Amino acid sequence: DRGQFRHFMLKEIHEQPQAIADTLEGRIAHGHILPAAFGVGADEIFASVERVQIIACGTSYHAGMVARYWFEDILRLPCAVEVASEFHYRNPVVSPNTLIVALSQSGETADTLAAIRMLKREDPKRPVLAICNAPESSLVRESDLVLMTRAGPEISVASTKAFSTQLVSLALLLLAIGRASGRMEEAEEQRIVAGLEKVPGRIQDALDHGDRVRELAELLVEKEHALFLGRGPMYPIAMEGALKLKEISYIHAEAYPAGELKHGPLALIDETMPVITIAPQNELLDKLKSNIAEVTARGAELFVFADERAGLHSADFTHVLPVTSHVGRISAPIIFNIPLQLLAYHVAVLKGTDVDQPRNLAKSVTVE
Ligand code: M6R
């Protein structure tokens, strides 16, 4: 039931504060991750883990890419992420004490299942953790450890609340591994838990600014292409924003790490190429600002979703939408993704596409 919402996608976007609160429920308390969060036997596995290999497709893959920044930066734990369809056909090397993490909303994605089955055939003792939204799924049945995202049923083909709850679940995994392996100081754990507890409210704030995103969508609807730029953990968020836009509005969208601009895509920039970027307040902001100057100098229309303190302001052909401020490195990608979801949604509605059921796509991709 769509209730008051015109599409399931919009309903699911608005369900994110609750979905995240549900995913956190009973898993963190008093500034700590609770030992039972990942079930019996998890701590023993987490204590000896030396690498993490994340496997997923589509939007779930983007969640994994964000987590790679967190695991390596915060825990100093090597982490690789790969799309399942490549991973399982290239005869990958997986070293001992690698924790395999399969991310999937449906738990029925054929490529992800095939990758897990290949790894299990190779070494039945190798631990596989599923982060999944469907309790009865094949992935859940075939994994050793399970963390359920509690997003509730996701009907729209374009994944939104599943992605946000995956990110929160990956943050819980970061905490659990950090704790069990002694790689995270207690003060850091407390800081991250406190940040996670604020995420539902921050998302609600971002949703409350939805009307302003619709105004930006009106400027994009006639475009044929769009370039999304981000740095650090915002690079996968740029990829996710581009995927949403192409999936439901059929506008060709590409994402680049902003630092790669001058290695090629800058050649595409002129007044017909809108550039969309995400500017949280972090140590990469100055670098991002110089990338922004590179594109505006070439006449591109720029759309920036920025931290209120970023010191970026609207001007001719530059549209700055303040999103939030004072968000930490875990919360930032989760929150800055919200306006990109809304942007894709409003562009699609303005174009009149079948938002919940885009052409050529299925909700669950059960063929390889
Ligand atoms: O169910 P899964 O998370 O395994 O699905 C993976 C992708 O098929 C999925 O995320 C797809 O990319 C979405 N339609 C994106 O919105």
d(CA 192, CA 227): 32
Alpha-carbon distances of 50 from 94, 99, 183, 206, 310, rounded to whole Å: 11, 8, 11, 37, 37
Q: What is the mean pLDDT of residues 164-179?
A: 98
Q: Is the ipTM of this complex over 0.95?
A: yes
Ligand 1 centroid vs 61 CA: distance in angstroms? 8
Residues 6+ apart with CB under 8 A from 29: none
Q: What is the mean pLDDT of residues 251-267?
A: 93
CB atoms < 10 A from the CB of 314, how many?
12
Which residue's CA is minimally distant from atom 7 of ligand 1? 58
Residue pLDDT, tens place only, 293-329? 888 889 899 999 988 888 888 888 889 888 887 788 9
d(CA 248, CA 337): 16
* CA proximity to 22, closest of 164, 146, 177: 164
* CA proximity to 321, closest of 332, 331, 306: 306
* CA proximity to 330, closest of 215, 141, 184: 184
d(CA 5, CA 263): 43
The pLDDT of residue 257 is 95
Which DSSP letter does residue 108 get? -
CB atoms < 10 A from the CB of 284, how many?
19
Ligand 1 centroid vs 160 CA: distance in angstroms? 10
For ligand 1, pick from 8, 9, 59 the residue to mutate: most ligand atoms within 8 Å of CB: 59
The pLDDT of residue 40 is 87
- At 219, the pLDDT band (50, 70, 90 cuts) reads very high
- Return the ligand 1 atom nearest residue 158 CA: 16
pLDDT above 90: residue 110: yes
Coil, strand or helix at 345: helix
- At 267, the pLDDT band (50, 70, 90 cuts) reads very high
- At 368, the pLDDT band (50, 70, 90 cuts) reads confident
- Is 289 part of the annotated catalytic residue set? no
The pLDDT of residue 293 is 87
Instruction: For the full predicted model, state whether its pTM sits above 0.95.
Output: yes
- Return the ligand 1 atom nearest residue 56 CA: 4
- At 360, the pLDDT band (50, 70, 90 cuts) reads very high
The pLDDT of residue 323 is 86
